């Protein structure tokens, strides 16, 4: 996300199936990426937001107020780990992992 200059990411709680990030969505929240954020900053923020979201989803399941939404993966973007060359370029631009 940082390499691609994304300004936001997200946290999603969804059912699990055999493919990564593929199951029906139970809760989702947009997470802004602050200017000059490092990879560690983004990981910390998304894990905090994701854990808070998970608590809300579990509470909603218990209360019967959560409904599953279709996971339209083709509508979003997914970035895996960067290549060595992408990491070098990232660092040359002055960006940081931590």
In the chain, where the domains are located: 8-92
CB 44 within 8 A of CB 31: no
Mean pLDDT, residues 27-38 taken together: 94
Which of the two residues, 69 and 4, has the higher pLDDT score?
69
Give the pLDDT score at 87: 87
What top-level class would CATH report for the domain 8-92? Answer: alpha beta
H-type helices in the chain, by residue range?
39-63, 84-92
What predicted TM-score, i.e. pTM, was given to this entire model?
0.81
Token readout for 6 is 């994304």
For 20-24, 28-32, 38-42, 48-52, which range has the lowest pLDDT when averaged over its residues? 20-24
């Amino acid at each position: 996300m940082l390499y691609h200059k994304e300004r936001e990411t997200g946290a999603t709680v969804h059912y699990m199936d055999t493919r990564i990030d593929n199951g029906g969505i139970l809760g989702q929240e947009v997470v802004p990426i602050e200017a000059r954020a490092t990879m560690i900053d983004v990981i910390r923020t998304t894990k905090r937001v994701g854990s808070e979201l998970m608590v809300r989803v579990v509470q909603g399941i218990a209360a019967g107020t959560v409904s599953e939404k279709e996971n339209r993966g083709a509508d979003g973007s997914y970035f895996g780990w960067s290549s060595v060359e992408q990491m070098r370029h990232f660092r040359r631009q002055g960006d940081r992992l931590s």
